[in-house]
Amino acid sequence: MASKKPENMSFEETITELDTLVEQLENGELPLDDALKKFERGIALARSGQTKLDEAEQRVSILLSNSDEAPLSDFADSQE
Q: What pLDDT digit, counting tens, does each position of 44-73 carry? A: 999 999 999 999 999 888 888 766 665 666
Q: What percent of the chain has pLDDT over 90?
A: 61
Mean pLDDT of the chain: 85
Backbone angles phi, psi at 56, to 5 degrees: -65, -40
The pTM assigned to this predicted structure is 0.73
pLDDT band for position 7 (50/70/90)?
Answer: confident
Map out the domains of the chain as residue ranges: 34-64
pLDDT score for 54: 94
Reduced 3-state DSSP string for the chain = CCCCCHHHCCHHHHHHHHHHHHHHHHHCCCCHHHHHHHHHHHHHHHHHHHHHHHHHHHHHHHHHCCCCCCCCCCCCCCCC
